[in-house]
Structures are given as structure tokens and as C-alpha cells.
Amino acid sequence: MFLDSNGQPIDVTPENLQDYSYDLHGVMLLTSSDVEAYLPPKWHGTIYGTEEMLINYRQNFNPDPALLNFHALQAYEPELICCRNVVIELTVLPAGQSLYSDSEIAVFMVKLAKFITNTDGTETPETNTNTLISKEIGTELSFFPHNHHYHLRIMSEGIDVVYVDDKIYQNGAPGVSYQHQRVCNLLSNLQPRCVKSLSGRPLPPVLNSVCRDPNVLSI
């Protein structure tokens, strides 16, 4: 999936491949090395992931090195990444093994901070959000090691939004499926303020009922 110019996730599929325009600077998040990404025509940019996933992806699909850059992130170690309009803090989190293959998968945390410049030159935070982006839910639902400093930070700040792939839902209906139960379990574990779909389509209302009260400050 990609991050747009404001650091928001966009899932590119064969159906919408031609709908988005990308400039020469772009950010793509690699959540699995087993599935080839759909790249918009003539897109130039950087693919972010763990070192192992990037190596496996290049071996599996032989992408054009003239068009793409690859940047390996260390798990649980945030890095500042420039999108077109904002600077975000990007962190890759191992998410266990895919339920569909032997491949290891990952999710990403995007921290977005926007500031207002005051008349005296000082800056005041306008928004400060933590967004977890999940393309696939694998074997691991707890992404933060309890003995790691990153876990303490997330526990203190909380997660505001979780993005999930909504392909498992038909017309926004939850149905009865193992994947739906895993989505509910994930939200119950993380307790975000809200959940959104990568496609922008409505999700079953029951998913937001699993999220925490938006007035509660901690997870």
C-alpha cells in the first residue's frame, strides 16, 4: 500500500490502479514479500519494510531498480519520513506469519504531528495521531513487546486509528468468518479510537463498538 501526500494510506488494486496520480516522490509500505505490489504507471518512490522482507521481495519479483528505492527499517525503531505535505514518523512492527503462506508479515505505525505557527514564532500542536496500518492480519495480534521501550510509549500515547483491509466484508456486513473474529480481537487488544477501511468503504458498525471511548486517553 502507499501513503499519500498527507501520510494517509491508499491501497492500490488492479481496479483502481489508474485512478491515482503520483509524483516522483512517493512512499510505499511493504507488508508482505509474497504478494507483488501493484505500482501506478511510471511511479518512482521508496519501498519501506524490514530488511528481510525487502530482500525476499526483490528475489521474488525482481522490481526495476531504476524506478524504485528500498529502505530497511529496524523493528520498533521510528524514522522520520517525508511525504509531500507532511513529515511523519514511521515504524515497522513484525506481525507474525501470514495465514495464507509461510511468509512473515508486518504492520506499520504512522505518527502524524501538525503544528500551527503562532504570531510570536512559536508552534502549537494542532493534531498528534498514531495510526496503525494493517494490510493483513497474521498469527500475531500483539505487536508491541512488553519489555521494549516502544511498548511503553504506545501505552502512554494510545492508538487513534486502525486501518484494516475490508475485502473480507460484503457490502459492509460482518457475516460469520474467522477473519472477522481476528479483526475484532485485534481491535479489542489495541483499543483504538476508531477503525477505518483501506478502500474507504463502510465497515460493519460492530467494529467501532469494539473500539474504546474516544474520550479515554490511554489504551
Comparing 127 with 124, the larger pLDDT belongs to: 127
Euclidean distance between CA atoms 67 and 71, whole angstroms: 14
Core vs surface per residue 174-213: b (16+ CB within 10 A) or e: beeeebbebbbebbeebbbbebbbbbeeebbeebeebbbe
User: For the chain, what are the domain ranges?
Assistant: 2-210
Q: Are 144 and 109 in contact (CB under 8 A)?
A: no
Would you place residue 218 in the very low, low, confident or very high pLDDT band (cuts 50, 70, 90)?
Answer: very low
pLDDT in tens, 60-99: 998 887 778 999 999 999 999 988 888 899 999 999 999 8
Residue range 114-131: mean pLDDT, rounded: 68
pLDDT of residue 167: 84
pLDDT in tens, 156-170: 888 999 999 988 886
- Which CATH architecture is the domain 2-210 placed in? 4-Layer Sandwich (3.60)
Identify the weakest region by mean pLDDT among 9-13, 111-115, 195-199.
111-115
Residue of 74, 47, 48 lying closest to 63 (CA atoms): 47
